[in-house]
Structures are given as C-alpha cells and as structure tokens.
Structure 1
Amino acid sequence: MLELRYRGSCPGPGEAVSPPPREGEAAGGDHETESTSDKETDIDDRYGDLDSRTDSDIPEIPASSDRTPEILKKALSGLSSRWKNWWIRGILTLTMISLFFLIIYMGSFMLMLLVLGIQVKCFHEIITIGYRVYHSYDLPWFRTLSWHFLLCVNYFFYGETVADYFATFVQREEQLQFLIRYHRFISFALYLAGFCMFVLSLVKKHYRLQFYMFAWTHVTLLITVTQSHLVIQNLFEGMIWFLVPISSVICNDITAYLFGFFFGRTPLIKLSPKKTWEGFIGGFFSTVVFGFIAAYVLSKYQYFVCPVEYRSDVNSFVTECEPSELFQLQTYSLPPFLKAVLRQERVSLYPFQIHSIALSTFASLIGPFGGFFASGFKRAFKIKDFANTIPGHGGIMDRFDCQYLMATFVHVYITSFIRGPNPSKVLQQLLVLQPEQQLNIYKTLKTHLIEKGILQPALKV
C-alpha cells in the first residue's frame, strides 16, 4: 500500500496535542477554556489538512509493466533503446490505423461504439491514477461513485441524442416513449442518488480530500464524456466531419514525431522535453497538406459527406443524400502570387477543402496543447504514461489527449460557420407531435406561405 506522509510539526511520543493560542492571548493565560468542539476543529485543521502538501509529497506511482509482445522484443533485441522504441511505435501505429480503417468500413454505428469504448477507457485511466495516489486513505465508495457518475452523464447525453435522431423509432416503442418523456427527470434522479451517497460517505479528517476526489471525478467527466458526445454529434453531420479532424490530429502526431526524431534539435516546451520546434513546424505543414488532400478525396463520396440518419423502415443508419454545395466542385480565382507559382488563373476545388485548412491548422497548432496539458498532469503525479495499454504509446489517453480539444473546436466550427436548419430533423420532431398539433402547424405554415406569395390562396366556390 502506498504511504503518504504529512510534513508538519507532529507531537512526539507522549506529548499532548494543544492548539495554538488565539490572537491576543498568551500561552497558559487565564482566558476561558475552548470548548471540546473547537479543540477538535483545531486538531483537524493541523493534522487533517491534506491540501498543504507540495508536489514532492505526492507519492510516486509504480511504473507500468512492459506489454511489448515477446516476438517484437526478440526481433528488435539488437537495436538501441531509441530505435527499438521507434520500431515498436511504428508497428503499433500501423496496426491501429489498419483497425481504424476496418471500423470505418463497418459503418457509423461501429464508429460510435468505438468512441464510447475510448471514452470509458480514458475515464478509467484517469480515475485509476487518483485511486493509486490516494489509495492509502481507503476513501469509501470512491471508485463506485466515480462509475456511477459516469453512467449518469452518459445516460443523459446519449438519451438526448436518441431523442433527437431516433424520434420515429422511439414513437413506435411505448417503453422508450416513457423513458424519453421523463429522460431529464430520470437523469437528475440518478445523479441526485450519487450526490447523496457522496455526502453520506464523508469521513472525518478526510473531508477536504474527499471533495478533491469529487472534483477530480467531475473534471474527468468533463474531459471525457462531454467531448466524446461532441465527437458523435460531429459524426451525425457527416462522416467527413469526423474523419478529417481525427486523421489530421493523427497525422500531426506522427509527422511531428518523425520530424522531431530525425531533425529535432531545439526544445519546444519544458513540459514535454522531447518535443522540438523542428517537429512542431514540420508537423504543421504536413498536416495542412494532408488535410487538404484528404478533404478532396473524401468529398467525392456520399458515404462520407452525407449526414448520418437513422431510417426506421430499414432499421439501420443510412448515408444517402444529394451532396450540399459544400461538397460540389466550385471554380475559384487564384490570388496573384499563386497565379505566378501555379501558372494558371483558376482552380476547381471543393469548398470543404478550404474549411479543411482551418481544421488542419487547429489540429497542428492548438491541438498539441492538449498533449502539453496531459504532460503537465503526468508530471504532477510523477508518471510517464496514463497506462500501458498500447506498447510504445502508453495508455489510450496518451494517444487521444489532443483529440478532445479538436472535438470541441469542430463542433463550434460547424455550429458557427456551417450548419443550417436540418429539414429531416424538423420533420422527425413534427411526426412525434399529436395529430391536433400537427394540423395547427400545417395551417400556420400554409398561411405563412400564402402571405409570402409562395402558395396561391384556394379559390372559393
């Protein structure tokens, strides 16, 4: 069991614990004796305050075991540790990319399950660090409450998604209608149960530490659950809004590593000593070029550009539509300096390619700060990686720390610059209404269209 030592002026053997004199009193004065509760409070303040620890007081977490397959260890045994790590990372990276392509081929639903699985694993890795650091205090219900809150937040967010995108399916199932109708009340009741359990679990002398852990859990939920929910929201806008941002972050991670490995000389940031300016700059240009090309290739196919919709008649997700103008070739006039370089005045591009430059730029310039944030977190708790799930890479969180900033940016970008009214979503919501409500909306819409001159008023006989 890990041991945490409180660095303070603890009494020696046989010494009595006496609170310090109050302001204006001399030690041993004749003032009124403090009550028992006041003494207990002072003792708690002196010996129970755990937030007075410095970084050096945080215990080191035992290093994770090496999970590299034995066949790889034998094959690379003659190489230096630097090149051995390079080959292990490279082989595992290619393996993960291949699996990612396979899941893309399997469709949108499998991608959603992948996002959910990554979210749960990232949450587990971060919560496990908190449990290992503070395990010696045996805080009651800490892990149980953490998973309870994860269940509550997921139930809330994914229930909202079901209500928005699966309205026609829900309408046919009476049990689901009840759950959707009272979804927010049920979500609040579940969270309230966890909140009450937390209050009942409070233990004297560990109050402040337990509130630290309560905050730890909720910040972890903010980082993992809400961001993965945004990833799925982006996916419903079209698989291209999922693939280009995520692949841009992956491309930046790989190319920055390669440029830094072969050409890196200048340290970039103290939080990550291995990061270099050469890797950062090389990764930026490579990512922008990659995003531009990937956007061109994916924009050609309905499978990637059409919004993901659930069809109740076939009971599955479909990606069929007439591509919007965003994914139709347009002709653009080039600026003068590009005309001289390319020796042509006009060029045909998909408008999405222009948006891909913004996405790639964010992935390469701002996305790495998610990694720097994770590096600072790991240094604070004296660990190299969040876990040892992937040999040569660390934990799942080590590979997806930059993706969470990217997910938020893409969602904000879509809502700010791209998304307009969604007719299919409005129609789904109308179909859920009662017949009288649908008829009133029909009459209101008809009157509005007649006033606009779009419809001709009916002739009275």
Structure 2
Amino acid sequence: METERDVGRLGSETEGKERDGASDTETKSDSGVPEVPVPADDTPEVLNKALSGLSSRWKNWWVRGILTLAMISFFFIIIYLGPMVLMMIVLCVQIKCFHEIITIGYSVYHSYHLPWFRTLSWYFLLCVNYFFYGETVTDYFFTLVQREEPLRILSKYHRFISFALYLTGFCMFVLSLVKKHYRLQFYMFGWTHVTLLIVVTQSHLIIHNLFEGMIWFIVPISCVICNDIMAYMFGFFFGRTPLIKLSPKKTWEGFIGGFFATIVFGILLSYVMSGYSYFVCPVEFNNDSNSFTVDCEPSELFQLQDYGLPPVLQSITGWTTVKLYPFQIHSIALSAFASIMGPFGGFFASGFKRAFKIKDFANTIPGHGGIMDRFDCQYLMATFVNVYIASFIRGPNPSKVIQQLLALRPDQQLHIFNSLKAHLTEKGLLPALEEAA
C-alpha cells in the first residue's frame, strides 16, 4: 500500500515522472528478480569460420541443421545399443535437465550462500529417483527380486524406506532455516519440488513407455523431433503470420506445415517399425539368462489387417481396401498430439525463460540451447503416451498376476486356486480343458 501511495505521489508531480514510475513498478512486479546473464555464443570455431560469410539468420539455420543431424545420428546409435542403454540415457538427460533448472534458480535468487541447499536439492532428486526406480524394479524384475534376499527385503519395505529418506531431507531443510533468508529458502524449496515434478516424474513415464515396447518410445519421440524440424523449416521459408506472443518466431504456416508433415511421418515410421519384433515386443526380464529380452509373438496391434477405404478415397485411388498395422491408426493420434499439444510444452518453457529474462536453459548444444530446451515437448508427450497406453492399449497382464500370486502364502494360493477352479467349472471351461489334455 505504501508503494502505491508513493507512486501516486510521484505521479502528481509531473506526467513524465508518472510514466517512468509506473514503468519501473511494472517491471519490478513482473520480474521481482535480477536478470540472469545470457550464455555466450559457444558455436564451435570450425563452424564460425565456415559460415562467417553468411547472415546471422542463415548462419543460425546451418548451425541448427548440422547439430540436429548429429543428434539424430546419436539417437540412432543408442537405439541400436538396446533398451538398457536407452534407459541410462533417459536417466542422464533427467539429471542434466534438473541441473539446468536448479542452476537457474540459484542464479535468479542468488541462493548460492544458503546453507546446505545445493546438497538438499540433489538429495531430494536422489530420494525421488529411488522411489520411482524402486517401483519399476519391483514391477519388471519381480523374479530377480524374489530370488535375492536383500532385494526382497528392500522391495517389501520400499515405500516406507522412500518416505523415511524424504522425511530426513525435510527435517534437514527445517534445521537449515536461517532467520535472514526464510522467504528465499522456501522459494528454493518450492522451486526444487516443482522441478522434481516436471522432470523426474515424466522421465519415469518415458521408461514405463519403453517397457511396453521400444516402438512406444521411439515413435512419439521421433514425431516430436519431426514436428520441431518441419515447423522450423516451414516457418523459415514460408512463415508470415505470428502464432503466439511467447514465441515471436513461431508462425501459423510452420505450425500447420509441421502438423501435416508429422502425421505422414508417423504413419510411415510406424509401418516400418511394426514389422520388427525388436521394436514391438515388450521389454521383459528373462530369468534364465538374467537379461532383458525383446522377443515375442507380435500382438494383433502389430499384424497387418485389411481396412476398407471411404468411397471418396476409393474413387481417387481405385482401391477398395488397404493393408495397415493397427498401430498405424494409433500413430495418427500420437502424431496429432505431438503437432497440436506438444508445442505447448515449448511455449511453456518460453514463458518460463521470459519470466526470468534468459535466452536458453543452458548453452550445452550450440544453436539449440540446453538439454531442457530440447526435451520440453518430450516430457509432455511422454505423459500423453503413458495415459494413452493405460486408457486404450494395455489390458490385464497375466505374468504380473502370476507374480503377485506367487508372493502369497500357500494357503492363500490354494484358496485362489479352488475359487478359480470352481469358476471355470461353472462356466463349462474346465471339463473341455481336461478332455483336450
């Protein structure tokens, strides 16, 4: 209230001072924090020399293009190395994204001098990862967990241990509170937990998608990459109409062109990948070989079926039916989300960066910013894919039901066996099975 009266009093002196005072007040209320320095240009010297004769617009185009091809090549390599390497890469990306966001918080709020807070931030990251990855190990490594006594104990009391670890960090935070910095410490406490929610939770969903089959990991990620590239290309050459104020360089031409290009790309990529067991089989742990396997009989989702074409398309193509994998139909939904809703992850990140007056989350990748700049849309996409699988794809998993039954006491197993036997006999299925045997 005193600030408002002061601004009003200053405004009554001269009209010019009023405008200046209002502008200053607006700026302070909008940011409330000092500006973070923009990272210096770290484009490799070789590229700088090779592209020195180009304008900044075309130089940026070539730098982004070359680095994009390098990242796509790296993506192909880690796919070839298998699901375990992919999981490790996801974990590394998660840690790097967390580091970039937390570092911005430290810089913005000048919180380097806060006692123990950098240590506590990484401790909370460790606690949350222990909880999520422990749940994953219990679900997908059940036979291994039951075979090893220490793992069986850790699995049984996993949630209690996770809560105890978090509670330890919570108490450490309370004990570290300093009278002069209460508000700042609680700012950073909230900053850390929101970062954990955005980064760790959604990277965990990426790994869950991967266990459903590598195709559920590769196709969504590739659709986001394709949409980002094609929207940039269409916007660069044809863009005229601004799309959103948060990202002035985004255009409607790029948005629409990226949408159609991504739909076509998703259908074609799904057709190619659906024919390989390596991509479509769920990632499972083989108890005999103590390793992951991706070998199975493909489900109906990945078997060619005949689909009738609408009359309009029949008149154009002359075909009455077309052979498609059912997954290609689902890929249209994935591609559409990557094209329509996926960019909003980027817009959210743009708003975040504008709020704190920074250009990029970091300068890890020349021309592309930090790792978080590349994965802002991927995290939103991962959540959608996980929800989509749970809602429309995944059914009861017999192997997990058997795993849970084997963990019961013998008397409980016998009770379930008798109940199931009575149910099958009543439905007339058990005698048929006995005759067949």
TM-score, normalised to structure 2's length?
Answer: 0.91
Which residue in 1 is equivalent to 2:119?
144
1:390 aligns with 2:360: no
User: How far off is 1:58 after superposition?
Assistant: 2.0
Which residue in 2 is equivalent to 1:376?
351
User: How far off is 1:53 after superposition?
Assistant: 5.2
Which residue in 2 is equivalent to 1:360?
335
Of 149-158 and 330-339, deviating more is 330-339
More helix by share: 2
In the alignment, is the contact (CA less than 8 A) between 1:167 and 1:432 conserved in 2? no
Which residue in 2 is equivalent to 1:29?
none
Which residue in 2 is equivalent to 1:201?
176
Which residue in 2 is equivalent to 1:62?
37
**Pick aligned residue for 1:85 from 57, 60, 76:** 60
1:188 aligns with 2:177: no
1:160 aligns with 2:131: no
User: How far off is 1:337 after superposition?
Assistant: 1.7
1:300 aligns with 2:275: yes
**Deviation digits for residues 337-395 of structure 1, max 9, x if unmatched?**
22122221111111110110000000000000000000000000100000000011000
- CA shift in 2, pair 1:288/1:82, >3 Å: same
In the alignment, is the contact (CA less than 8 A) between 1:168 and 1:431 conserved in 2? no
User: How far off is 1:444 after superposition?
Assistant: 2.4
Distance 1:133 1:448 in 2: 64
Distance 2:214 2:98 in 1: 25
In the alignment, is the contact (CA less than 8 A) between 1:249 and 1:403 conserved in 2? yes
1:438 aligns with 2:385: no
Secondary structure of the residue aligned to 1:331 is strand
In the alignment, is the contact (CA less than 8 A) between 1:252 and 1:284 conserved in 2? yes
**Pick aligned residue for 1:218 from 188, 193, 197:** 193
**Pick aligned residue for 2:211 from 216, 233, 236:** 236
TM-score, normalised to structure 1's length?
Answer: 0.86
**Pick aligned residue for 2:255 from 248, 263, 280:** 280
Which residue in 2 is equivalent to 1:95?
70
Distance 1:163 1:80 in 2: 55
Secondary structure of the residue aligned to 1:401 is helix
User: How far off is 1:315 after superposition?
Assistant: 1.2
**Deviation digits for residues 123-154 of structure 1, max 9, x if unmatched?**
11000000001126722222111111111111
Distance 1:111 1:396 in 2: 16
Which residue in 2 is equivalent to 1:74?
49
1:290 aligns with 2:265: yes
1:325 aligns with 2:297: no
Secondary structure of the residue aligned to 2:323 is strand
**Pick aligned residue for 2:385 from 407, 410, 433:** 410
**Deviation digits for residues 201-237 of structure 1, max 9, x if unmatched?**
2222432232221111111111001101111111111
Which residue in 2 is equivalent to 1:179?
154
Q: Structure 2: state its 5+ residue gaps.
A: 5-26
Distance 1:432 1:312 in 2: 16
**Deviation digits for residues 225-267 of structure 1, max 9, x if unmatched?**
1101111111111111111111000000000011111111111
User: How far off is 1:431 after superposition?
Assistant: 3.1
1:269 aligns with 2:230: no
Distance 1:307 1:8 in 2: 61
In the alignment, is the contact (CA less than 8 A) between 2:138 and 2:155 conserved in 1? yes
1:454 aligns with 2:395: no
User: How far off is 1:64 after superposition?
Assistant: 1.2
Counterpart amino acid of 1:309? E
Counterpart amino acid of 1:375? S
Distance 1:138 1:288 in 2: 50
In the alignment, is the contact (CA less than 8 A) between 1:168 and 1:432 conserved in 2? no
Distance 1:420 1:396 in 2: 35
Distance 1:115 1:68 in 2: 25
In the alignment, is the contact (CA less than 8 A) between 2:106 and 2:112 conserved in 1? no
Distance 2:193 2:35 in 1: 24
Secondary structure of the residue aligned to 1:68 is coil
How much is the aligned-residue C-alpha RMSD, in angstroms? 1.9
Of 110-119 and 77-86, deviating more is 77-86
User: How far off is 1:438 after superposition?
Assistant: 3.1
Q: What is the aligned-residue identity percentage? A: 77
**Pick aligned residue for 1:309 from 278, 284, 289:** 284
